[in-house]
Amino acid sequence: MDGQSHIELSGLKLTTDIGTYGPGDVVPEAHILDLRLKIDPRLVLIDTDDMDRVFDYDPLIAEIDRLARDGHYETQERLMTRIVHACAAFPQIMAIEVKLSKTPVVGKTGQLGVHLALDERVIMQIRET
């Protein structure tokens, strides 16, 4: 089937512990996850209203929450890598865009994040490792 479909999650505040901060450093109040997952349109354009016809994202969200709470991370990038691997474990996911950001950055303002986009070829390589 031609076309594209995506599952999108935005603005999810993660309960996590990222970074090491000293006196006078700005300590983030929140780490925010945005996630866009490409899936087959046949998992969206369904002929019957049954959960077995769609991509059930609830187990993935539970795994992301578990990973975020899993312990201390020095970097956003490490948590992001683990989230990508969790997404790649679902064969329905064809491509991944993930953004993890923290706020505030200076004073009580700003949001700073890392954005990663991976196509189907890269997802297949991750699955093979």
In angstroms, the CA 30 to CA 62 distance is 19
User: What's the confidence (pLDDT) of residue 100?
Assistant: 98
User: What's the confidence (pLDDT) of residue 1?
Assistant: 67
Q: What is the pLDDT along the chain (129 residues), one digit of tens a residue?
A: 678 999 999 999 999 999 999 999 999 999 999 999 999 999 999 999 999 999 999 999 999 999 999 999 999 999 999 999 999 999 999 999 999 999 999 989 999 999 999 999 999 999 998
Tell which CATH classification among 2.60.40.10, 3.10.450.50, 3.40.50.170, 3.30.1130.10 matches the domain 5-128.
3.30.1130.10
CA neighbor of 97 nearest in space, from 7, 16, 15, 4: 7
In angstroms, the CA 23 to CA 88 distance is 39
Please state, in angstroms and as integers, the Cα–Cα distance from residue 115 to each residue in 3, 80, 81, 118, following that order.
24, 9, 11, 10
**pTM for this predicted structure:** 0.94
